[in-house]
């Protein structure tokens, strides 16, 4: 079966991991923060998870979860000073953090420096062993290795589904409304009684945890990680997932990761011009649809057609503008 080619299955795994990474940066974008630290948090989760499963011989699941928790703890330390910054200042600070983390891993003996970590326990390989153990080899004409890859994809899809469900739940809660208010106008949100720093910090930590989980999954799918895997190019790649697909909705990160993971493979026969075509498509999209392919109104219409009833779509900026104007009128009247 050509569709079950190990190469294709690996691309599907990378798509799912990329989608998780895109959602991690979506959280900070949803609260109006341009953070470029996702690759740094991803590297923390990848190295912590890999070291725990490789050196300490802990279960892969434990390593991945601990990696996510350590990434979120690092986010607390980094976020305390940086979440008070705005715009390019925050972007530069978090980009610097990612570079510092990369250099640290590059010079530590425990991480094997520039040589990277190899022989990391593999999720597909572990599941392949289970396939042999339960006599799945040859079942339905599929060998045990392919069964291992398929089960790995199912597990990754479940993790992605849980992450998306969590995002949707957050967006429909008071926390999500606070994020939207801060993104639209953090000054107006603060005047309405929203603790801007608290909610920015929350979004920053949640995004770091998801990035740490994504890093742990990446390490245990590729079997090998190197500090160069989390360089500036990785930062740009992760940022492009929500920007390309739509930064205002969680599904935009999923769509963007799908397109940008598949596009290089589709254009592989144009290897000499692939980067030019890739860049040109991005420029055209940003010129035609600066908010990305998916928008809130589009997702709302699709949800209604699928039978998921939601509240009428009202642009968040319109709501905040009306409230802020009402607040200013009230202030003006009180002065008179």
pLDDT at 313: 44
pLDDT band at 314 (very low <50, low <70, confident <90, very high): very low
What is the arithmetic mean of pLDDT over 32-56? 92
Which has more confidence, 23 or 193? 23
Q: What is the value of pTM for the model shown?
A: 0.87
Q: Tens digits of per-residue pLDDT, 135-158?
A: 888 788 788 888 999 999 999 999
Domain spans, the chain = 2-231, 295-336
DSSP 8-state assignment for residue 85: -
Which has more confidence, 249 or 217? 217
pLDDT at 151: 94
CA of 287: how far to CAs of 7, 145, 282, in Å? Answer: 34, 44, 9
pLDDT at 190: 84
Percentage of the chain with pLDDT > 70? 90
Average pLDDT, the chain: 86
pLDDT at 172: 86
SS (H, E, C) 127-176: HHHHHHHCCCCCHHHCCHHHHHHHHHHHHHHHHHHHHHHHHHHHHCCHHH
Q: Tens digits of per-residue pLDDT, 92-130?
A: 889 999 999 999 999 988 998 888 899 899 999 999 888
Sole residue written with tokens 């590729």: 222
Q: Are 29 and 171 in contact (CB under 8 A)?
A: no
Cα 154 to Cα 52: distance, rounded to the nearest angstrom? 24
Q: Are 192 and 181 in contact (CB under 8 A)?
A: yes
Cα 281 to Cα 285: distance, rounded to the nearest angstrom? 6
Cα 257 to Cα 42: distance, rounded to the nearest angstrom? 16
Q: Tens digits of per-residue pLDDT, 169-194?
A: 998 888 888 898 888 888 888 888 88
């Amino acid at each position: 079966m050509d569709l079950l080619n190990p190469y294709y299955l690996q691309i599907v795994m990378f798509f799912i991991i990329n989608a998780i990474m895109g959602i991690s940066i979506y959280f900070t974008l949803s609260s109006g923060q341009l953070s470029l630290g996702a690759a740094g948090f991803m590297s923390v989760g990848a190295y912590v998870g890999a070291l725990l499963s490789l050196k300490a011989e802990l279960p892969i699941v434990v390593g991945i979860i601990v990696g996510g928790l350590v990434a979120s703890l690092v986010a607390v330390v980094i976020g305390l000073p940086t979440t008070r910054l705005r715009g390019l200042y925050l972007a530069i600070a978090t980009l610097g953090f990612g570079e510092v983390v990369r250099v640290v891993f590059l010079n530590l003996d425990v991480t094997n420096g520039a040589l990277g970590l190899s022989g990391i326990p593999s999720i597909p390989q572990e599941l392949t062993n289970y396939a042999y153990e339960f006599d799945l080899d040859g079942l339905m004409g599929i060998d045990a290795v392919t069964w291992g890859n398929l089960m790995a994809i199912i597990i990754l899809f479940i993790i992605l589904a849980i992450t998306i469900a969590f995002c949707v739940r957050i967006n429909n809660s008071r926390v999500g409304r606070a994020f939207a208010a801060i993104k639209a106008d953090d000054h107006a949100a603060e005047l309405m009684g929203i603790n801007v720093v608290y909610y920015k910090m929350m979004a920053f930590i949640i995004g770091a945890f998801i990035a740490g989980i994504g890093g742990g999954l990446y390490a245990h799918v590729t079997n090998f990680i190197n500090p160069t895997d989390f360089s500036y190019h990785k930062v740009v790649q992760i940022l492009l997932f929500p920007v390309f697909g739509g930064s205002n909705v969680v599904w935009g990160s999923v769509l963007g990761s799908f397109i940008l993971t598949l596009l290089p493979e589709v254009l592989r026969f144009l290897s000499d011009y692939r980067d030019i075509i890739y860049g040109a498509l991005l420029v055209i999209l940003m010129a035609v649809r600066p908010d990305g392919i998916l928008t809130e109104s589009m997702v709302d219409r699709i949800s209604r057609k699928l039978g998921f009833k939601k509240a009428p779509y009202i642009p968040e900026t319109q709501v905040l503008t009306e409230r802020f104007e009402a607040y200013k009128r009230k202030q003006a009247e009180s002065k008179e």
